[in-house]
Structure 1
Amino acid sequence: MSTLQSPSSTTVLEHLEEDGPSQKCKGGNISSLPNDIGPQDKGFLNEYHGFWIPALATSGVIASQKYFQARDTDILLVTPPKVGTTWSKAILFALMNRIHYQDLQEHPLLTKIPHDLVPLLEGDIYTKKKVHDLNPAFPRLLSTHLPYVLLPTSVKDSTCKIVYVYRNAKDTFVSLWHFQNRLYPTTASLEEAFNKFCKGMSPFGSYWDHVLSCWKKSIQNPGRKMLFLKYEEMKEQPTTYLKRIAEFLDCPFSPEEEAKGTVNDISSLCSFDNLSNLDVNKSRKWCLPDHKMTLFSQGVDNAAFFRQGQTGDWVNYLTSEMTEKLDHIIEEKFHGIGLKF
């Protein structure tokens, strides 16, 4: 296993400006963006360069594009919302830092939600004026919901590795609808939300455009280090995919680790059943420090990130007409591209 110098966490990111992003990036120019009026008559989504970005994240998106400097050693988890992001963060963190936390009874995942351990590019980094304890980890583990076309230029110009996770569009939509209902009780009805989803009016843009933007780039530039993972396949064969991800991250499991059951131990540690039943994820809140938006400054119940962790739940919510409509869109968008959807 390759040597990892120090644990990847939210405390190892260098600040880029002493006082954070400029007022313009914080929101001075955001009010002019087209928006979809959402819960409580506030702009829930802003249209930004052809993608719908949550109002909560728009200033962070602009700031990250302007200020973030990627390193060639960075690992970036890229996901559309509600495709297994929380689980994927746990897996990547556990894999990359297993040399530091060999005693799983003392593992940070037992006391912290994965979002506290893997910084969100458009969230954690740019909602703080300063980031302390500047002892950079190599590689840094970061995450983002941004589609490839909106990633900072420094990311595109670097050789950092990208792990991309996607999911059945029907389950993605149902999970997203439930999550938004948890955050905003006045969110749209299932039918209204479905129509917007089909039109591409989803957080961080059209779901299929999000997947396609990264997939097409990987095809156009085969030398680019990208790993595409399908949520359903990961759920079916977790240990197989743990090994595959570890190899991609240049920290493969050693024969000794496999012999003593490290793969199965990490799989159990990161499983939905384990994470969802931890006290930290049942009774505590997750918040972005110094965030100006009330929702995230006061905190969101960690339990909101752990609903079912299952596949195929969409059959309990979508009508036959909805199913046919989504099937038609997926067939039209993904026909002949070589990606199993």
Structure 2
Amino acid sequence: MWCQPAEIQAISAFQKHFQAKDSDIVVASIPKSGTTWLKALTFAIVNRHRFNISSKNYNNPLLTSNPHDLVPFFEYKVYEKNQVPDLSKLPEPRLFGTHIPFPSLFNSIKESNCKIIYICRNPFDTFVSSWHFSNKIKQGSSPQLTLEEAFEMYCKGIVGFGPFWTHMLGYWKESLETPNKVQFLKYEDLKGDINSHLKSIAKFLDCPFTLEEERQGVIEDIINLCSFKNMKGLEVNKSGKSIKNFDNKNLFSKGEIGDWVNHFSPGMVEKLSIVLEEKLCGSGLWFRPS
């Protein structure tokens, strides 16, 4: 996979030292595919009995902390700078996040009964979101990538934690083989029917919603609390840095489906469609062009 030197050091420390617990929950994803949203939703679902999930309850950590602080990345925070933290006393279930491909996850995760929730997004939209984000975080005199330059790299698999098709297929195949351990989500499906998917996620995490909770509107409260509009408007998500040197405000872009049509030429559509057809052929995993 492609990643930066500091990330390689962190991943190495993670692989050497992390000891998974059966109660652990790992939110895995391709960058720019709904990671922040899924982290917020997962935190709210798992902790709904500890913290009131009403958006008016300012004691809820999601209103005062960025989701990436509540569900920290192995490679960006937990093992940042090659540190080896003591994680044994964290309250259970412990929540972690990662962009690391499945084959590179530490064996203790694979051999434990911990849960992995994976989310990916239509590669057309993922590319556009990644291109915008990478140019936003360029520092100093670093040249910005043109759309054409970034697209050529993307189609060759030269993208953070990619190739993107290898990343998706790793978790996809594992979700088919061990559906009780890995849940595979598409951003478009989650956004299209979030109510049903939250029920599915809660059931997968062994903390299903009760009929009484459903009648009381708990699912709708979680949806509203973690909505793009609500999360983007919070002061904690307008300033500060929760991941490396990335400004929190840049973690919330448009969150739209189909924005790629405003950037792709017909030739680009054809080329990426061919890449997807070749790389995903026979896997059962597919994406609509729009």
- For normalisation by structure 2, the TM-score amounts to 0.91
Tell me how far apart the structure 2 counterparts of residues 224 and 156 of structure 1 sit (CA, whole Å): 12
Partner SS, residue 11 of structure 2: helix
Tell me how far apart the structure 2 counterparts of residues 54 and 312 of structure 1 sit (CA, whole Å): 29
Tell me how far apart the structure 1 counterparts of residues 129 and 5 of structure 2 sit (CA, whole Å): 20
Tell me how far apart the structure 2 counterparts of residues 97 and 285 of structure 1 sit (CA, whole Å): 24
Tell me how far apart the structure 1 counterparts of residues 263 and 6 of structure 2 sit (CA, whole Å): 28
Q: Which runs of 5+ in 2 are unaligned?
A: none
**Contact residue 183 and residue 204 of structure 2 kept, 8 A:** yes
Which residue does the alignment assign to 1:338?
284
1:1-341 map, 5 Å: 51-102=1-52, 104=54, 105=57, 106-127=59-80, 129=83, 131=85, 135-184=89-138, 186-219=143-176, 221-222=177-178, 225-282=181-238, 284-287=239-242, 296=244, 299-341=245-287
Tell me how far apart the structure 2 counterparts of residues 312 and 154 of structure 1 sit (CA, whole Å): 38
**Contact residue 122 and residue 144 of structure 1 kept, 8 A:** yes
Alignment-mate amino acid for residue 145 of structure 2: A
Structure-2 change in CA distance of 1:213 and 1:260 (3 Å): same
**Contact residue 29 and residue 35 of structure 2 kept, 8 A:** yes
Tell me how far apart the structure 2 counterparts of residues 73 and 331 of structure 1 sit (CA, whole Å): 37
Superposition deviation, residue 162 in structure 1: 1.0
Alignment-mate amino acid for residue 326 of structure 1: L
**Contact residue 77 and residue 164 of structure 1 kept, 8 A:** yes
Tell me how far apart the structure 2 counterparts of residues 340 and 248 of structure 1 sit (CA, whole Å): 23
**Contact residue 39 and residue 71 of structure 2 kept, 8 A:** yes
**Contact residue 180 and residue 204 of structure 2 kept, 8 A:** no
1:98-121 CA distance string (max 9 Å, x none) = 101125312111111100100111
Structure-2 change in CA distance of 1:216 and 1:331 (3 Å): same
Tell me how far apart the structure 2 counterparts of residues 316 and 58 of structure 1 sit (CA, whole Å): 35
Partner SS, residue 118 of structure 2: strand
Identical positions, percent: 46
- For normalisation by structure 1, the TM-score amounts to 0.78
Superposition deviation, residue 205 in structure 1: 1.4
1:239-280 CA distance string (max 9 Å, x none) = 111111011111111111111111000001111111011111
**Contact residue 66 and residue 242 of structure 2 kept, 8 A:** no
Alignment-mate amino acid for residue 77 of structure 2: D
Superposition deviation, residue 154 in structure 1: 1.3
Which residue does the alignment assign to 1:17?
none
Structure-2 change in CA distance of 1:340 and 1:316 (3 Å): same
Q: Which runs of 5+ in 1 are unaligned?
A: 1-50, 289-295
Partner SS, residue 246 of structure 1: helix
**Contact residue 54 and residue 204 of structure 1 kept, 8 A:** no
Superposition deviation, residue 134 in structure 1: 6.2
Alignment-mate amino acid for residue 152 of structure 1: F
**Contact residue 175 and residue 184 of structure 2 kept, 8 A:** no
Superposition deviation, residue 135 in structure 1: 3.2
Tell me how far apart the structure 2 counterparts of residues 110 and 139 of structure 1 sit (CA, whole Å): 20
**Contact residue 32 and residue 129 of structure 2 kept, 8 A:** yes
Greater relative CO, 1 or 2 (CA 8 Å, sep 6+): 2
Pairs aligned (count): 280
Superposition deviation, residue 227 in structure 1: 0.6
Tell me how far apart the structure 2 counterparts of residues 227 and 247 of structure 1 sit (CA, whole Å): 11
